[in-house]
């Protein structure tokens, strides 16, 4: 892999994996272009809750892509919260490994991917560029990896809560709605 500048943390690597799934047998020929767009600052991102809105400039054209990240299950939130300490925990690669080894992988799942271009695929070069841009952002601040899955919010009212709050209280605060966790792409 020639590009170690994307996903040099475990947290950021999860976003690289969206562009480069482990099960992929042949490399996607669009990947070098997507990396170049991200590296050249061609992706403008706005994160709004679990939505990533992005404008991707390539040559003279601009595409608009939206990526929706699935909310993290309460069980996983609780499992991860048990490993965090303090109001502003430092999300190291060691912590990532511990969380994953305990069966609570923090890798994001996507519920919706949309792009304004005419490629007619959810893996167009614009969307791939957004994954790389997100990998860079998460490398810079791994808290984004959890925040974008609603980790720091309650499911019911979206209010910010501290990671110092006990997992039991989180579960009590929330009402389980299976539709939130098993909804299809919108």
Q: Using CB under 5 A as the criterion, which residues of the chain lie in contact with Zn ion when the complex forms?
A: 63, 115, 117, 124, 126
| Residue 32 CB, nearest approach to Zn ion (Å) | 16
**What is the pairing mode between strands 61-69 and 110-115?**
antiparallel
| Residue 4 CB, nearest approach to Zn ion (Å) | 26
Q: For Zn ion, give the closer residue by CB, 63 or 99.
A: 63
Residue 23: Cβ within 10 Å count: 4
3-state helix, strand, coil in the chain (%, to 5): 35, 15, 45
CA torsion, ordered 76, 82, 83, 84, to nearest 10 deg = 100
Q: For Zn ion, give the closer residue by CB, 126 or 137.
A: 126
| Residue 65 CB, nearest approach to Zn ion (Å) | 6
- Are 109 and 72 contacting, i.e. CB atoms less than 8 angstroms apart? no
CA torsion, ordered 55, 131, 162, 159, to nearest 10 deg = 40
Rounded distance between C-alpha atoms, residue 178 and residue 164, angstroms: 26
| Residue 33 CB, nearest approach to Zn ion (Å) | 12
Q: For Zn ion, give the closer residue by CB, 63 or 67.
A: 63
| Residue 126 CB, nearest approach to Zn ion (Å) | 3
Q: For Zn ion, give the closer residue by CB, 47 or 117.
A: 117
Rounded distance between C-alpha atoms, residue 45 and residue 48, angstroms: 10
Going through the chain in order, the beta strands assigned E by DSSP cover: 43-48, 51-58, 61-69, 110-115
| Residue 184 CB, nearest approach to Zn ion (Å) | 21
Q: For Zn ion, give the closer residue by CB, 41 or 103.
A: 41
Q: For Zn ion, give the closer residue by CB, 31 or 115.
A: 115
């Amino acid at each position: 892999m020639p590009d170690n500048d994307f996903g040099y943390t475990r947290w950021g690597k999860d976003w690289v994996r969206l562009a480069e799934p482990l099960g992929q047998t042949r490399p996607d020929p669009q990947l070098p272009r997507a990396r170049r767009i991200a590296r050249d600052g061609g992706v403008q991102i706005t994160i709004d809750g679990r939505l990533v809105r992005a404008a991707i400039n390539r040559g003279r054209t601009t595409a608009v892509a939206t990526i929706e990240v699935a909310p993290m299950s309460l069980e996983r939130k609780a499992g991860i919260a048990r490993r965090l300490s303090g109001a502003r925990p430092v999300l190291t690669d060691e912590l990532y490994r511990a969380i994953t080894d305990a069966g609570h992988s923090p890798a994001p799942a996507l519920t919706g991917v949309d792009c304004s271009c005419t490629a007619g695929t959810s893996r167009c070069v614009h969307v791939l560029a957004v994954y790389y841009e997100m990998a860079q952002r998460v490398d810079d601040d791994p808290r984004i990896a959890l925040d974008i899955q609603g980790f720091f919010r309650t499911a019911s009212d979206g209010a910010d809560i501290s990671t110092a709050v006990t997992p039991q209280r989180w579960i009590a605060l929330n009402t389980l709605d299976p539709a939130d966790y098993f909804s299809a792409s919108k």
